[in-house]
Chains A and B, each alone.
Chain A
Amino acid sequence: MANSESGQPLAVVPQVYGALWRGLLGPLRTIIQPAAAVIVALACGAGLLAFNGYEARAVIDVMVLGVFQDTRSIAEILLKATPLILIGVGLCVAFRCSIWNIGAEGQFYAGAIAATAVGVSFDGLTAWIYVPLVMLAGALAGAAWAAIAGLLKVYFRASEIVTTIMLNYIAIIMTSYLVTGPLRDAPAAYPQSARLVQEAWMPRILPPTRLHIGILVALALAVVMYVFLFRSTRGYALRVVGISPDAARYAGISVPRNIMLSICLSGSMAGLAGAFEIAGVTRRLFQSISPGYGFEGIAVALLANNNPIGAVFSGLLFAILRSGSELMQITAQVPQVLVLVIQGIVILSVVGFAVLRIPSMRPSE
């Protein structure tokens, strides 16, 4: 309805700068804006550190150097990037359909629970069967968890924003219940599940680091989802539904079917991420198995303009920031609260810049 023949967001910029911006920087904008977001965030972070009496330079040095120190630290980044990329790619699909799935965190937990249940249960399976089985369990559980919100939307018009947030709580609390009750490993002091059977562990690809095949799967799925969204007929239909449900109906495209497809795909990717976390890193289920990957995945997708290939890069970026902030805590002794604040600033500025860039997020359409 709005701004149809006039869409020039930068009309307020004096014309010379406007022309310069569009003509010269236009093509570079996709790179410049995320970069600007990071720089702004780092500057804010540095200011905050200085204000609190830390040597900002030194802290950032520790961070930047430490992050890329050796193979192990790079492997750790990739390890963190795996769930972020998976979740981010999945959310790209949901967001392209205008399904605002805020429940990746819960879907991650659902996948982790299912992977644990399957991973502790069988004896005598070869890894060739067991590993895919665990992955499948995680993906299906994530999809099923997301499908609840999808069905509520399709049949009762319940906002998926609300239902997915509620489902997050349920999944997280259910995990607590399981590891303190039915799935609890009796001899352990902590509430945690038993260890997964060894054949169910994700094969490692860079020993002695913990890096496992999850990162390869994540990269492959990013490509698959890119092709799905922008080259396949089903992806096209999904995008049309996301932009204009009326046009979709006119074209004979089923709106409910695409809502279910997009939310289940994104749920399955989050569930798969949960399975990887269990079978690839922790090998047990415990209470707070996700350090907020599901929420950070939202920023990953937004920063990538809901483009699955872009989500690989933004996922990596967030993983680096995560590693950096850990180093800040451990090496530079910056208190965790401050680190969280800085992380929050990064996400805020990233999302802020994304809003500038993505027309569909602006008030005028």
Chain B
Amino acid sequence: MAGKQLLLMDGIHKRFGPLIVSAGVTLDVEENEIHALLGENGAGKTVLMSILCGVLSPNEGQIVFKGRPLKLGSPREAIKHRIGMVHQHFMLVPNLTVAENYVLGQGSPFSMIRDMRAVHARILELSDRYGLDVEPDALVSSLSVGEQQRVEILKVLYHGIELLILDEPTAVLTPQETDRLLHLLRQLVADGKTVIFISHKLDEVMRVSDRVSVMRDAKVVRTVKTSETNARELARMMVGRDVLMDLPRAPLEPGRVVLSVEHLSCDSEAGLPALRDVSFEVRANEIVGIAGVSGNGQSELALALTGLLPVASGNVTLDGTQLAGLSSYEINQVPMAHIPEDRHRMGIVLPLPLTENVILQRFDKPPFSSRGLLDLNEITKQTRDLMRRFKVKASGPGDRIRNLSGGNQQKLVVGRELDRRFDFLLINQLTRGIDIGATELVMHKILEQRGAGKAILLISTELEELFTLSDRILVMYEGRLVGEIPPDRSRLEEIGLLMAGKSPLSAA
């Protein structure tokens, strides 16, 4: 469908100090299409979209929207033209309700008293129409990531849009939620809207988009029709080489039991029962995957294992040491590493430089410190080294981590954790936001650890990741382990049923 041009971003240049993040980008988007934007971590996708939304102003270039030039660097202008964006990292206020978040920052500061009932009605109407299941009175902090994602999308719809920008919306979603989202995007396009969709998942891009633009090194290198390309070709355009989608995994005999969890139960932060009588073991040389729709107790499992959530009953032992009941400080002393689910909440400290994020758990140990003082030279050296090994793109070790692209932040967290001394590695979402080239790298490093005799627990909402890495997959549903499946892609349907709380036998 050779549609009418809706948007033209022309010759966009953007620098942050010496760092060039847009080097004359040209992007054209047609009316009524789903336009996918692909590119490696740090290629400049988020920056380009922030420029379109007026959040950042470019150093050079122009934007033409519906045939007229757009005033640059003005979020108001973008809102006026009904350009809306759902950000890579959510921008909701956690201790307000959904409806309160929607009215926030709208209208004049003096029109304080609103008809909240009308707001509710409109939310419910839109939620119904697009099947989003958004509850206007729910407190944002009580929602799962998938739910928050829907709240963010509905927020943009609520304010009325022509052009919807989604920055890696599926990174935090389960396959079912992703299906739902892609369906929603199709519905929106049918309603006459246009969508720009950023993702690192090529299968989604192939499924949903009409055209694809690929960014590399701060430029759009090509725009192609989706129907005239394939995933392999897109990957090559992005990375500049062939990417091995399937990693060889050497068969290994699992060794001694490293982590043993017996009858573990605990409550969520909100005080509701979250884990019920969970028992499993992880052995050396073994990667155990945990599959499940998010919100079925996986987050609580990770927090309970690391002492961040009190254990109600049951035992957790690591190499014979009892962990249940220890504080997070004490657990920090046992040989365990943890890649957390929400990097912005826990994994990193946004305003601090890379150096001070690398030392987060080891700041008081050699080589980072001696006699109570930080060894800044050593810290800088190690940070440089880590950036090199994990291909973290930043202007330098002193750059604030908030300036890094989402995928680069994640790479830094993964690298930091793998550098710790551990026997047991807990991973809650490994490749969230990481591009396919880097995914290959990171998965390779995880398999290396497996080969080195480490025990690894991999919690993931991404079945592809689980199939590639795990030796066996446990399925979690409503706080219980409901089944164990070998990582065999032919058993996909069985896993799906278990994740939905159905027994595969009764369904068969």
Residues of A within 8 A of B (CB): 1-8, 11-12, 14-15, 18-19, 227, 231-234, 236-237, 239-240, 243-244, 246-247, 249-254, 359-360, 365
Contact = CB atoms under 8 A, between A and B. Distances in A.
B372 A234 contact: yes
Main secondary structure of the interface of B (DSSP, over half): loop
A359 B403 CA distance: 14
B360 A251 contact: yes
24 contacts: A1-B92, A1-B344, A4-B89, A4-B350, A4-B402, A5-B47, A6-B55, A7-B402, A11-B56, A11-B75, A231-B373, A231-B376, A236-B356, A236-B374, A243-B351, A244-B346, A246-B345, A247-B346, A250-B306, A250-B308, A250-B361, A251-B332, A252-B329, A253-B329
Contacts of A246: 345-346
Nearest to B356: A236
Contacts of B93: 1
Interface in B296-326: 306, 308
Contacts of A239: 352
Interface in B360-393: 360-361, 363-364, 369, 372-374, 376
Contacts of B46: 5
B72 interface: yes
Given A236-B359, A247-B346, A249-B308, 20 more contacts: A1-B94, A5-B88, A5-B402, A7-B402, A8-B55, A8-B57, A11-B56, A11-B57, A12-B73, A12-B74, A15-B59, A231-B376, A232-B372, A233-B363, A240-B360, A249-B346, A250-B338, A250-B361, A251-B363, A360-B351
Contact of A252 (B59, B333, B356, B372): B333
Nearest to A19: B59
Contact of A233 (B57, B72, B373): B373
B363 A236 contact: yes
Contacts of A8: 55-57
A251 B308 CA distance: 10
B87 interface: yes
B57 A18 contact: yes
B415 interface: no
A240 B374 CA distance: 14
* A6, A237, A246, A365: residue with the most chain B Cβ atoms closer than 10 Å: A6
A233 B379 CA distance: 12
Interface in B84-100: 87-94
B348 interface: yes
Contact of A232 (B50, B54, B348, B373): B373
B174 interface: no
User: What are the 4 closest A-B residue pairs judged by CB atoms, nearest first?
Assistant: A252-B332, A250-B346, A252-B329, A233-B364
B289 interface: no
B331 interface: yes
Contacts of A7: 402-403
B487 interface: no
A157 to B, nearest CB: 15
Contact of B374 (A11, A19, A231): A231
Nearest to A237: B363
B91 A250 contact: no
